[in-house]
Amino acid sequence: MVLAALGILFVRKAVHAALLLAVVMISLAMLYAVLDAPFLFAVQIIVYTGAILMLFLFVVMLVGVDASDSVVETIRGQRLLATVGGLLLGLVLVVGLSQLALGTVVGLDDANKGGNVPAVADILFSRYVFAFETTSALLITAAVGAMVLAHRERLVPKPTQAMLADQRVRDYAEHGLHLGALPPPGVYARHNAVDTPALLPDGTPAEASVSRVLAARGTVRSAPAMADDVQGVERQLAGDQPVNRVDDEPEGDRS
């Protein structure tokens, strides 16, 4: 658990940090089980690990997080606040460990005398009922505030197909963008493959018809090879040579 917690601080990707956080939470649930706290064990697995953390992980995977870190501080005094918060956390840890060392903490046998779940319920709804209800109100307020901040009113009507067509014509008239659909791959080729670009009326390959990934890999067919294919098809259509059938082709062409 300690190694996974340290890994959260040093990994570069947010998805890996979320997975390491899941390891920490599951390990913490195992500690609750060892300490005879079945209620906290179940809550840690079901609520925190199974619901909240998995939801966070799905959001990170779907939305994505920019890996570049900004060194510009947008909040003034955040380093001072972080230092004060770290000192307060250290003070809380020291006080908690001192209570364990001095023997002021009640043992597990006394705390779970009437059962772990009834004991937790008695503490939550008697001594700490105000803090429990305040935390619930804060969580509900945070959920409603997140929905309000994320909601955006539609200022303009939803574009229809006619509006999109008019915008495409305007883009063609103003910027010279392509008016119709992009040419599919394999046009005027002997096989319909994504690595064979379409040919323009002047015989040159159309770069817009080839995937940018294939172009970056350098696996797009060259213009001389495409010209040989086109000339062979033209000779076949003109009747200068017989059209090849599948049975007459060599084994390599057939494959």
At residue 241, the 3 state secondary structure works out as coil
At residue 199, the 3 state secondary structure works out as strand
Q: Residue 190 burial by CB count (10 A; 0-12/13-18/19+): exposed, middle or buried?
A: middle
Residues in the chain: 255
| Residue linked to tokens 């067919």 | 221
Domains parsed from the chain with CATH numbers:
1-65 (1.20.120.1200), 108-140 (no CATH), 162-242 (no CATH)
The one-letter code for the residue type at 32 is: Y
pLDDT in tens, 124-166: 888 889 998 998 899 899 888 888 887 777 777 888 888 888 8
pLDDT in tens, 63-73: 665 555 566 67
pTM of the model: 0.43
The sign of the CA dihedral 232, 234, 238, 244 is positive
The DSSP letter of residue 126 is I
